[in-house]
Amino acid sequence: MSEVIRISEATYKSLESLARGFDTPGSVIERLLDFYEKHQISSAPSREPLTQKVSTKFTIPEEPDLTHTKVLEGRFGNEKVKNWMDLVYAAHKYALKHFGNFEALQKATLSNVLKGSHNRGGYHEYPGIGISIQGEDANDSWHNALHLAQEIGVSDIEVLFQWRNKKGATHPGQKGRLFWDGQKLNCEVYKI
C-alpha cells in the first residue's frame, strides 16, 4: 500500500527537475535513495570533524578565543556554512522558520537585526528571509549562533576553523573545532 506525502512546491520543483521522461515523483525519490545507498551516504549527522584530517587533537575545557580565525567548514543543522556570518545567517534562517515571525526572532536573538533591507551601519541584507543582520566578529558569531541553536532546539552545529598566523591569535596556525550536539559543547584544538 502506498503512502501519501505532502511536499512543498519548491521540493516538488526540485524533484521535477530531476525527472527523466515519464518519471513520477515516487520514481525520482527511489532513484535518489538508490544513489544514497550505492554511495553509502548517511543522512545521520557526522560526529567527526567535517572533512579535514589532523594529526593530534586535544579537548579544551572552554571555548577558545576565536579572534583571527577563519572558517574552513561548518554547518548549522543541515545547512553548510563557509564563514562566520554564514553561520549567523543560517541560525537566523532556522530561527525565523521556527518562530514564524520577525518580532519573536528579534526577542530571541543576541544579534542586531532589522526587518527588511538595510545596508548601512554594518547591516547586510540576507536574501530569502527578509531581514538584515549587523556584522559580528567570530566570537559573537559563534555565541549568537549557538544561543539560537539552544533557543530553537537545533542539535547539530559545528565549525572547523583555523587561527591565522597573526599576533593576538590564541593558537596561531592551528585548527580548532566547536561542536554542539544539543546537550554538550565540545571544543577541540588540533596540532598540525
* 37 and 129 together in one domain: no
Q: Which domain holds residue 160?
A: 56-191
Considering only residues 190 and 54, tell me which one the structure prediction assigns the higher pLDDT: 190
Q: What is the pLDDT of residues 13-23, one digit of tens each?
A: 777 777 777 77
> Are 70 and 153 contained in the same domain?
yes
Quick check: 149 and 91 in contact, CB under 8 A?
yes
- Least reliable range by pLDDT among 3-7, 32-36, 69-73, 109-113: 32-36
How many separate domains does the chain show?
2
In a domain, 48, yes or no: no
Residues 1 and 68 in one domain: no
Helix (H) or strand (E) holding 159: strand 157-163
pLDDT at residue 40 in the model: 56
Asked if pLDDT for residue 168 goes beyond 60, the answer is: yes
Q: Is the per-residue pLDDT at 49 higher than 50?
A: no
Looking at the structure, tell me whether residues 107 and 128 fall in a common domain.
Answer: yes
pLDDT at 147 over 80: yes
Q: Cell 513520477 identifies what position? A: 24
Q: Tell me the C-alpha distance between 131 and 116, whole Å.
A: 5
- The answer as to whether 78 is a domain residue is yes
Please tell me whether residues 36 and 128 are part of one structural domain: no
Going from the C-alpha of 177 to that of each of 76, 109, 166, the distances in angstroms are: 14, 23, 19
Tell me, yes or no, whether 50 lies in a domain.
no
pLDDT at 20: 77
| pTM > 0.85 | no
Q: Which H or E run contains 9?
A: helix 9-18
| Shared-domain flag, residues 94 and 118 | yes
Q: Looking at the predicted structure, is the pLDDT value of residue 46 above 60? A: no
Residue 113 vs residue 7, higher pLDDT: 113
Sheet holding 131-134, edge to edge: 113-115, 131-134, 123-126
Q: Are residues 76 and 27 in the same domain?
A: no
User: What burial class does residue 142 get, using C-beta atoms within 10 Å of its C-beta: 0-12 exposed, 13-18 middle, 19+ buried?
Assistant: buried
